[in-house]
Structure 1
Amino acid sequence: MTHASHPAVGRFTRCLAAAVLVAAPWLPALAQQAPAPLLHTMFQDHAVLQRDQPLRVWGLAPPGETVRIELAGRSASARAGADGRWQAALPALEAGGPHTLVASAGKAQQTVSDLLVGDVWLCSGQSNMELQVWRSLDARAEIASAGNDRIRLLTVPQVSEVSAQATFSRPVQWRPVDSESVRDFSAACYFYARELQKTVDVPMGLVNAAWGGSRIEPWIGAPTLRTLGRLDGELDVLERFAVDPAAAVAQWGRLWQDWWSGRPGVSAGDAPWDAATQAAGNWRQAPAALGAWERWGVPELAEFNGMVWYRTTVELTAAQAAQDAVLALGPADEIDMTWVNGQGVGSTYGAGSGREYTLPAGLLREGGNEVVVNVLDTYRDGGLAGPATLHALVLADGTRVPLAQGWEYRIVPREAGNPPRAPWQSAAGLSTLYNGMIAPLGHYGLRGALWYQGESNTGEPDEYADLLRALRDDWRARFSPDLPLLVVQLAGFGMPNSAPVESGWADLREVQRAVAAEDARTGLVVAIDIGDRYDIHPTNKQELGRRLARVARHVVYGEAIAPSGPVPTGASRNGDAVVVAFGDVEGTLVAYGADAPLGFELCTDAPGSCRFARAELWHNRVTLRTSHAHEATRVRYCWADSPVCTLFDRNDSGPGMPAGPFEIPLSPMAEDDHAR
C-alpha cells in the first residue's frame, strides 16, 4: 500500500483541496489565463524529436475539438475523442533545428520552442544505468567541462503504478547538457551519446528511465507477461489490486502460502502465519531493539542473506478490536510478507520505507492478535530494521497500541529459495515500472533503447531468457517494430576464484549473450573487464559509453566494424586438444599479463566436471589442453561472478576489445581444419 492510498492521506488531500477552493476565489481567473496544455508533456521546450520517421504528436483537448499542429512548415490536424485524447502525425524531418511546434484548438494555443530533430534514446535498467555522472570516474572534471546544447536530457520520475498511465504523475523537463543538468543524469547514457556523436553528428535526445535494484519483470507490460504462461496467478492479483487492494492482498497471501507449502524441507502443517501451527520450527527470542539481524550476535545470521520469520502478539480490548486500524511496522530490509491473525495484509519491496498496512474490517479480535512477518534479504543488512518503537497498531480514534510483547524469530534454511514477489511491488513486482515509467512515454519516436539490468535476476537465468525476449517484443510493440536494443552484459563483481565454480552471474551473462545473438537488431556490450570486484557499481562509465557507441555504430547504423570484441564461432576436438575459433577479431588475438590467455575451462556433462585448461594462441584460434580433454563436451571462458579475463584483440589503433564470457558445446572439426 502506498502512502497516497492510505485513508488518512486521502482525507487530508480532500480537505486541503476544499480549503484551497474556499480561500482562493482567484483560481477560475488563473485557469482562464493558463489553459491546460494541449500537448503531451514529452513535447516541451528543448525536446528532441526522432528524425527520418513520421512524427507522432498527441495530447488532450476538449472532446470533439479539432486540434491543429504546425512544425517546420508542415501541418496536420486531429479531432479529440470523447475522452479528450487526440493524435496526429507529421511528415518525417531530417536532423536539425531549432524548430517551433504550435498546437491550437479553438481559442487555446500552445507553443513549444527550441526543438531539435535528431536521434532519441531510451536508457533503462537498474542501478548501473541509474548511476549519476557525479558518481562516475573523474566526476568533478566531467561535470565542470559539460556543455553541449545538441544533447538534451530527460529523466523519468521513479513512479510505480499497478495500471498503465497515459502521462507522468510528476513534472518532467527536457534540459540541454550543462554542468547543472548533467550532474544527476545517468552516466552510462550521457557518455554513450557523447561518444556516439563523434561519428553520428546529429542532435541526441536521452530519456533515462531507471530504478536501482529493479528486476526485469516490472519493466514489461502485463499483456506481454501473460504470453509467458507462468505468471497468470500473479497478474490476476495485480488486476484485482487496482480495484480492491484488500481483497488482492488476501488473495496474494494465499498464493504465497501455497508456495511455502511446496518448499523442500517444509513439513506438512508447517504454517508459521497460523497461530494453530506456530509451534513448528525453532523459534527464538529476538533482541528487543531489533535492527539488522547481522548485528544480533547470532552466528547463523552474521552473513545471512535469505528469509527469517518474525512473530509477536498484541492484546486488544473489544472496543479497540472493533475499530478500523493500520499496522505500522517501520522499515524492513528488503521484502516483507505480513499476516495478521492468519490473513495476508501487505507486502512491500524496499529497505528504506516503513510499512503501513490497512487491516480489513473484522480481522482484529478481543484478546491476543498474532502478527507474523516474513522478511527476505538478498544483500547486506536484513530484517525488521526497527527501532521496535515504530511497531504498533494505529486505531481509527488515534490510539497507538505498541507491539510491546517482543518478537520471536525463526531462520529459514537457504535451500528453501526465494519467495515470489507481490505483483504490486515497485521494483520487484510485475509491470509496475512499465506502467509508471514506460507507458507515460506514449509512442514517442525512438532511435533505439539501451538496457543495463540483470543483477537482481541472477538467481533465475533460465527464466531471464524469455523475460529479455519479452521486454524486447513489448517495447517494439510500443515504440517501433524494429527498435534496436543494446544490452549491457553484467560486469564482474566479487572476488576471483582459484578453481572453476558455478555462477548465477555467469549463467545470466550467457543468457544475455545468447538472446542478443539471435536477433540482428540486438547488440551486446561486454563489460566483464570494467567491473569492480569491491563495488557492484563500477565507476568507469566512460569506457562503457564508448563500447555502447561502438555496438550502436554496427547494429543501428550498419557500420562494418566488429561490434563488441572477439566472439567464439565454434569449438571442436583436435586429437588430444580442443580448438576454439573466434570471429569479429580486429587485428589479432592477444593475451595480456601472460604468454597465454587465462580463464578457459573444459567440461563434461557431469556437474562439477569443469577444469581449467592450458591455452595456446594461434592467429584467431585458441588451443586448449587438459588431462581429460578427450572427455570434454563443452568449453567455458571467464565463468565466474568476477573472473580474470585476459583475451583481447589488438590492432594498430589501440588495445582492442575483450572476448566476453561464453559457454559453447564441442562439435566435430572438418579434416582440413586439423592443421594449425
Structure 2
Amino acid sequence: MKKLFFIFFCIPNLFFSQSSMRLPDILGDHMLLQKDSEVNFWGWANPRSKIRIIADWNTDTIQTSASNMAKWETLLKTPKAGGPYTIQVLSEDESISIKNVMIGELWICSGQSNMEFSVNNGVIDAEAAMPDSENADIRFFFIEKATAAFPQDELTGHWEVCSPESMRKFSSVGYFFGRKLNEELNTPIGLINSNWGGTPVETWMPKDAIENVNKIQAEVEFLNDSEGWPRDIASTYNAMIHPITKMGIAGAIWYQGESNTPNANTYAELFTTMIKGWRLKFQNDFPFYYVQIAPFQGYGVPFSAALVREQQQKASSLEKTGMVVISDLVDDPDDIHPRYKKEVGNRLANRALAETYGQESTKYKFATLREQKIEKILSFLISYKHDYVVPLVSVYGRSGSGKSSVTRFVCENINDASY
C-alpha cells in the first residue's frame, strides 16, 4: 500500500517536471481585461510551486501557490480604462510576460451564423468601414470551434488587435457593436468571438440548467434527429463558453434562434434558462442583449420564424435583457443571412449605451404594439408604445370566404392607425 501511495503521489511531479508553467489562451498578448474590477487570473505550474504576478499598473506583487494538481488561481485588481500594460508571471525558475494588455469593457459575442457572419462573407457597406478599422483600442479574441461532452477548463483561441485584416474575419455584428461603444465611451473594448452556425440554443446551455426545463425529453428527440451541426445538449457551452467563465465581463450580445424554428414554442423558456445559466456560471448578473431573427421564407415549418420572434420578445421580460428588431434590415427575404450587419451592431450598441452605460439620450427602443381592438367589421385600431412614427405597417388576413386568398392593408408613417 505504501508503494502505491508513493507512485500516485509522484505522478503530478512526473507530468510537470519540464517547462510546466503556462496560462490559458484567454490570458495572452494583446488581451483586454475588464476595468475597475477584481478579475480572476489563473494558470498551471509545478505542484506546490510559488507564483508571483506583477502588473505594471500595480505597485504590489501578487503571490500565490500551485496546488498538488498543478493549478493556481488568484485575483488581480484592474485599474480604470487604459493601457497598454505588461503583466509578468514568475515561478522559482520560469517566467511568462503578457504584453500589450488593455483595460476596458469586455463583451462576449455569441450565437449562430448571423453572429459568426464576417466581412469576408459579404457585408453591405463593410468596405467603407475598412479605413477606420485600424484601432488598437479594440481587441478580438477568436475561439476555435469545438464541442465537448463535459465542461472544459481550456479552449483554443488567440487575441488580435483590431486591424483591416483581423476585422475581416471577426463577427461583423460584434465589430460594429464594439466600434460604436469605443467611439461613444472613449474606452478600450474587448470582444470574445464564440459562435457556430447552425447551432440551436440547447447546445449553448449548461447541462445542469437545461435539466430543469419543461418538455426536455421532446427537446432531446428534436436535437438527436438533426444532423450536420453540433446538436448535443451543452456541447458548445462545455467547449466554447465554460472555459472562459472565470473572466470578468461587462456583458454579452447574442444573435441566434433560426435553428430553433422546429421547436419554436419552447424558445423563451430555453433561452431565458440559458441566460440565467451563464450568469450563474460567470457569477455575474451581466446585461444580455440580443437580436430578433429576421424574416426568412425558407423555414420548413409554417409561421415558425414568427413564433420564434414572439418568443424572443417574451424573453425580454428577464431582468437586464433587451432585444433589437431588424425586420427592416433585410436585403433578401430568401436569404437567412441579411447582409446589413453594421446597423444591427449599432442597434445593439445603442441599447447597451442606454441601459448599461446610462446614455439616456440614445434612441434605442423599437416600436412595440400597445393596443389593438376591433371596432367594427373590417375596422380595427393599432397603437404603439414609445411615441414612434412607424414608417410602414402591413396587415394580412384571409378573406371572409375562407379561401386562401390574402387581403393586405398598408398604411405609412403612423403612430395610431385605424383600418
8 Å contact from structure 1 (residues 465, 512) kept in 2: yes
1:189 and 2:140 aligned: no
8 Å contact from structure 2 (residues 367, 390) kept in 1: no
Choose from 253, 257, 266 the match for 1:463.
266
SS of residue matched to 2:85: strand
Choose from 38, 63, 69 the match for 2:53.
69
Choose from 573, 584, 601 the match for 2:386.
584
1:149 and 2:149 aligned: no
Aligned residue number for residue 529 of structure 1: 328
Unaligned runs of 5+ in 1: 1-27, 236-258, 260-418, 496-500, 626-676
Aligned residue number for residue 406 of structure 1: none
424-433 or 44-53, which moves further after superposition? 424-433
Aligned residue number for residue 277 of structure 1: none
Aligned residue number for residue 238 of structure 1: none
Aligned residue number for residue 472 of structure 1: 275
SS of residue matched to 2:354: helix
Choose from 12, 31, 39 the match for 2:23.
39
Aligned residue number for residue 206 of structure 1: 191
Deviation readout 1:544-594 (Å, 9 max, x if unpaired):
111111111122223324423211233345566533332223xx51435xx
Deviation readout 1:227-278 (Å, 9 max, x if unpaired):
115447998xxxxxxxxxxxxxxxxxxxxxxx7xxxxxxxxxxxxxxxxxxx
Aligned residue number for residue 84 of structure 2: 98
1:223 and 2:208 aligned: yes
Residue pairs, 1:378-417, within 5 angstroms: none
1:503 and 2:299 aligned: no
Choose from 607, 621, 624 the match for 2:416.
621
Shift of 1:180: 1.7
Distance 2:325 2:359 in 1: 18
Distance 1:447 1:199 in 2: 16
Q: How many residues align?
A: 396
Shift of 1:611: 7.5
Shift of 1:476: 0.6
Give the TM-score of the pair, scaled to structure 1: 0.54
Shift of 1:133: 1.5
| Fraction of identical pairs, as percent | 29
Distance 1:180 1:466 in 2: 39
SS of residue matched to 1:153: strand
Aligned residue number for residue 540 of structure 1: 340
Let me know the Cα RMSD of the aligned residues: 3.2
1:432 and 2:235 aligned: yes
Aligned residue number for residue 490 of structure 1: 293
8 Å contact from structure 1 (residues 133, 187) kept in 2: yes
Residue pairs, 1:350-365, within 5 angstroms: none
Which amino acid counterpart does residue 570 of structure 1 have in structure 2? E
8 Å contact from structure 1 (residues 99, 113) kept in 2: yes
Residue pairs, 1:96-175, within 5 angstroms: 96-135=82-121, 136-143=123-130, 145-168=132-155, 170=156, 172-175=157-160
Deviation readout 1:136-190 (Å, 9 max, x if unpaired):
124444445521111011110001111111011x3x2211111221121111111
Distance 2:405 2:354 in 1: 35
84-93 or 72-81, which moves further after superposition? 72-81
Larger of the two Rg values belongs to structure = 1
Distance 1:490 1:580 in 2: 23
Give the TM-score of the pair, scaled to structure 2: 0.85
Choose from 442, 449, 461 the match for 2:245.
442
Deviation readout 1:488-546 (Å, 9 max, x if unpaired):
10012238xxxxx9510000001001101x12411101111112213211111111111
Aligned residue number for residue 519 of structure 1: 318
8 Å contact from structure 1 (residues 449, 485) kept in 2: yes
Which amino acid counterpart does residue 46 of structure 2 have in structure 1? P
Distance 1:426 1:62 in 2: 39
Deviation readout 1:347-398 (Å, 9 max, x if unpaired):
xxxxxxxxxxxxxxxxxxxxxxxxxxxxxxxxxxxxxxxxxxxxxxxxxxxx
Distance 1:608 1:557 in 2: 52
Which amino acid counterpart does residue 364 of structure 2 have in structure 1? P
Change over 3 Å in CA distance of 1:137–1:36 after alignment to 2: farther
Change over 3 Å in CA distance of 1:608–1:445 after alignment to 2: farther
8 Å contact from structure 2 (residues 40, 73) kept in 1: yes
SS of residue matched to 2:184: coil
Distance 1:549 1:62 in 2: 44
Which amino acid counterpart does residue 394 of structure 2 have in structure 1? L
1:55 and 2:39 aligned: yes
Distance 1:162 1:584 in 2: 45
SS of residue matched to 2:248: coil
Which amino acid counterpart does residue 598 of structure 1 have in structure 2? S
Distance 2:272 2:346 in 1: 25
Aligned residue number for residue 366 of structure 2: 565
Change over 3 Å in CA distance of 1:617–1:143 after alignment to 2: closer
Shift of 1:612: 5.4
SS of residue matched to 1:460: helix
8 Å contact from structure 2 (residues 53, 90) kept in 1: yes
SS of residue matched to 1:114: strand
8 Å contact from structure 1 (residues 217, 467) kept in 2: yes
8 Å contact from structure 1 (residues 589, 617) kept in 2: no
8 Å contact from structure 2 (residues 78, 103) kept in 1: no
SS of residue matched to 1:539: coil
Distance 2:47 2:239 in 1: 25
Distance 2:204 2:381 in 1: 41
Aligned residue number for residue 641 of structure 1: none
Aligned residue number for residue 4 of structure 2: none
Which amino acid counterpart does residue 82 of structure 1 have in structure 2? N
222-231 or 208-217, which moves further after superposition? 222-231
Deviation readout 1:27-68 (Å, 9 max, x if unpaired):
x9xx96xx3343322111110001122111111122222322
Residue pairs, 1:333-372, within 5 angstroms: none
